[in-house]
Chain A
Amino acid sequence: MSYSIESVRKDFPILSRSVNGRPLVYFDNGATSQTPIPVVEAMNRVYYEYNSNIHRGVHTLSNIGTEAFENVRKQVAGFINAAKVEEVIFTKGTTESINLLAYSFGESFLKAGDEIIISGMEHHSNIVPWHLLQKRKNIIIRVIPVLDDGSLDMEAYKALLSDKTKLLSITHVSNVLGTINPVKEMVELAHKYSVPVLIDGAQGIHHEEVDVQDLDCDFYVFSGHKMYGPTGTGVLYGKEKWLTEMEPWQGGGEMIKTVTLEKSTFNDIPYKFEAGTPDYVGVIGLGAAIDYINGIGLDAIREYERELYTYAFDRLSSISKLTIYGTAPHRGSLISFLLKDIHPFDAGTLLDKMGIAVRTGHHCAQPLMDRFSIPGTVRASFGLYNTKEEVDILIDGLAKVRQLFA
């Protein structure tokens, strides 16, 4: 299992541009991955050949669009092995998926004093929606601590579970530490208390094999723009039993059955949660991204990325006065680090001058920064098109940064 990196890179025109006079080295895939030609072309085809609002029309273009859109729902269901196509809801991203759940699940199933569990390594988008819910419903938020190596304190997690727990909401892969959490085991433990589990798969979906039936998670959410799809697309997978019972979040067209001026009755899932015109162009692009990933093969991608990750980790580890944050046994896809005495902003600014795009700052995970008492980190996150040569350029770049500070 392998693929030709040269031909893959040709699918991403942006990779051949230069930045600040140097060839671009793009290591910010954890924030947004680049988009291959087939994805852009699929979206172009919508605009050029069959653009029109889906679901509502009787005319030909609308029907072509509806079919294309609904085919992507089937594709996504297949990609994550959902039991039913209706369990796939389109959103504009992971953040919206979690907000939808915090509202709808919260309205339907939570009352004052109920507990939900999150962890100390969550992205703000898996913290703040629960804070909002806490304000509305007076729920209690419990937090699984993060150990020094960046793994979760599983003993603490077990101790937090109780009859009061009503939801576990946990990241699959940490966007700062790269830790791959033992989500399957966590689901099993939660289910012993009949606690449903939401997995934030923003960093997991394109790096790990995700089989929602095997994981037995109740919800799995992710974004299109981190898996070579377009920005503004996302997915909320939920087990039918929950989605059917849950209150809708936003009201509008498409999500209703009947409306009188006095009251509305709601459509069935998934449409109940897709009020208004969806980003059908984006969703069709997301379908093309899934095709693209499947075309290369997720196993081949994982194998390639794992080798690249190990190479990068080893090379970064060999730099003196460089600290890597996140050394848990199971980790991948991204590496956070700090050069001693050099602020991440300074390192990132200088690397940018060398054409190297990394992310710096707190990565929307301030509680985790507080946990490690650091202002932020420099993060290199990898995609299927990155190469060892690019890792070498990063290593040389860091040496130059160090030299400038000498």
Chain B
Amino acid sequence: MTIIEVQNEIVEEFSMLSEWMDRYSLLIELGNELEGFHEEHRTDQNLIEGCQSRVWLYAREEGGKIYFEADSDAIIVKGIVALLIRVMNGRTPSELLESELFFIDKISLKEHLSPTRSNGLVAMVKQMKMFALAYKTKMENQ
């Protein structure tokens, strides 16, 4: 599935939940279920410091695609992180760089990607694209 298709899928899943409590319930569930973060990556270097909560993001490249591991100390943030990984994981650098994230807005979670929320998510999305740019440059120079 393309980045757009995965986003549409998420929008559809959330569209069935009209109550905010159900949407946040799902986010909390996704946050609790997010696995795959290796403890050795919980370093200051991988830390994206928000004023309110913290996010750790680690990226690696394999076969021309980028894979992410991430964690947060706040579960709602972690739930959104889980969604971001679902959309962005296993993509080529070009796909990531060209991607436009519209699903957050469409599932009424836009407030969490506003810079004033200082939860680390805005910086995380930026950092994901930075990784993509760095790997892209690296691949082109090889």
Q: Do A and B come from one complex?
A: yes
List A residues at the B interface (Cβ < 8 Å). Answer: 20, 342-346, 348-350, 353, 360-362, 375-376, 400, 404-405
| Contact present for A20 and B52 (CB under 8 Å) | no
Once the chains are docked, how many angstroms separate the CA of A349 from the CA of B76?
8
Known A343-B53, A360-B52, A361-B52; contact A404-B28, beta-carbon cutoff 8 A: yes
- Minimal beta-carbon separation of B51 from chain A (angstroms): 6
Known A343-B75, A346-B76; contact A404-B21, beta-carbon cutoff 8 A: yes
A residues in contact with B7, CB < 8 Å: none
| Contact present for A345 and B24 (CB under 8 Å) | no
Closest residue of chain B to A348 (Cβ to Cβ) is: B52
| Contact present for A376 and B25 (CB under 8 Å) | no
Once the chains are docked, how many angstroms separate the CA of A376 from the CA of B52?
8
B residues in contact with A376, CB < 8 Å: 52
Once the chains are docked, how many angstroms separate the CA of A404 from the CA of B76?
11
Q: Is B96 an interface residue (CB 8 A)?
A: no
Find B74's partner among A346, A400, A404 (CB 8 Å cutoff).
A346
| Contact present for A345 and B20 (CB under 8 Å) | no
Once the chains are docked, how many angstroms separate the CA of A343 from the CA of B78?
11
- We find that the number of chain B residues with CB closer than 8 angstroms to chain A is 16
B residues in contact with A349, CB < 8 Å: 24, 76, 112
| Contact present for B51 and A405 (CB under 8 Å) | no
Residues of chain B from 32 to 80 with CB closer than 8 A to chain A in the complex: 51-54, 73-77
Known A345-B53, A361-B52, A404-B21; contact A375-B73, beta-carbon cutoff 8 A: yes
Known A343-B74, A345-B76, A345-B119; contact A353-B51, beta-carbon cutoff 8 A: no
Once the chains are docked, how many angstroms separate the CA of A400 from the CA of B77?
19
A residues in contact with B52, CB < 8 Å: 344-345, 348, 360-361, 376
19 extra A-B contacts, CB within 8 A, seeds A343-B75, A345-B74, A346-B28: A342-B75, A343-B73, A343-B74, A344-B52, A345-B52, A345-B77, A345-B119, A346-B76, A349-B76, A349-B112, A353-B20, A353-B24, A360-B52, A362-B51, A375-B53, A375-B54, A400-B21, A404-B25, A404-B28
| Most chain B C-beta atoms within 10 Å of own C-beta, residue among A343, A344, A345, A405 | A345
Q: List 28 A-B contacts (CB under 8 A).
A: A342-B75, A343-B53, A343-B73, A343-B75, A344-B52, A345-B52, A345-B53, A345-B76, A345-B77, A346-B75, A346-B76, A346-B77, A348-B52, A349-B24, A350-B76, A353-B20, A353-B21, A353-B24, A360-B52, A361-B51, A361-B52, A362-B51, A375-B73, A376-B52, A400-B21, A404-B21, A404-B25, A404-B28
| Contact present for A20 and B20 (CB under 8 Å) | yes
Judged by DSSP, the binding face of B is helix
Once the chains are docked, how many angstroms separate the CA of A370 from the CA of B124?
25
- Minimal beta-carbon separation of A231 from chain B (angstroms): 17
Find B24's partner among A343, A375, A404 (CB 8 Å cutoff).
A404
Q: 1/0 per position for B22-34, CB-CB distance to A under 8 A?
A: 0011001000000
| Contact present for B73 and A405 (CB under 8 Å) | no
Identify the 3 closest CB pairs spanning chains A and B, nearest first: A343-B74, A345-B74, A345-B53
Closest residue of chain A to B32 (Cβ to Cβ) is: A405
Once the chains are docked, how many angstroms separate the CA of A375 from the CA of B53?
8
| Contact present for A350 and B24 (CB under 8 Å) | yes
A residues in contact with B51, CB < 8 Å: 361-362
Once the chains are docked, how many angstroms separate the CA of A231 from the CA of B141?
54
Residues of chain B from 119 to 134 with CB closer than 8 A to chain A in the complex: 119
Once the chains are docked, how many angstroms separate the CA of A391 from the CA of B128?
42
Closest residue of chain B to A20 (Cβ to Cβ) is: B20
Once the chains are docked, how many angstroms separate the CA of A360 from the CA of B20?
20
Find A405's partner among B53, B75, B119 (CB 8 Å cutoff).
B75
A residues in contact with B28, CB < 8 Å: 346, 404-405
Closest residue of chain A to B75 (Cβ to Cβ) is: A346
- Minimal beta-carbon separation of B110 from chain A (angstroms): 13
Once the chains are docked, how many angstroms separate the CA of A376 from the CA of B28?
20
A residues in contact with B74, CB < 8 Å: 343, 345-346
A residues in contact with B77, CB < 8 Å: 345-346
Once the chains are docked, how many angstroms separate the CA of A361 from the CA of B52?
5
A residues in contact with B76, CB < 8 Å: 345-346, 349-350
- Minimal beta-carbon separation of B42 from chain A (angstroms): 14
| Most chain B C-beta atoms within 10 Å of own C-beta, residue among A349, A404, A405 | A349
- Minimal beta-carbon separation of B113 from chain A (angstroms): 13
B residues in contact with A362, CB < 8 Å: 51
| Most chain A C-beta atoms within 10 Å of own C-beta, residue among B51, B54, B74, B75 | B74
Q: 1/0 per position for B78-108, CB-CB distance to A under 8 A?
A: 0000000000000000000000000000000
- Minimal beta-carbon separation of B111 from chain A (angstroms): 9
A residues in contact with B119, CB < 8 Å: 345
- Minimal beta-carbon separation of A201 from chain B (angstroms): 25
Once the chains are docked, how many angstroms separate the CA of A348 from the CA of B111?
13
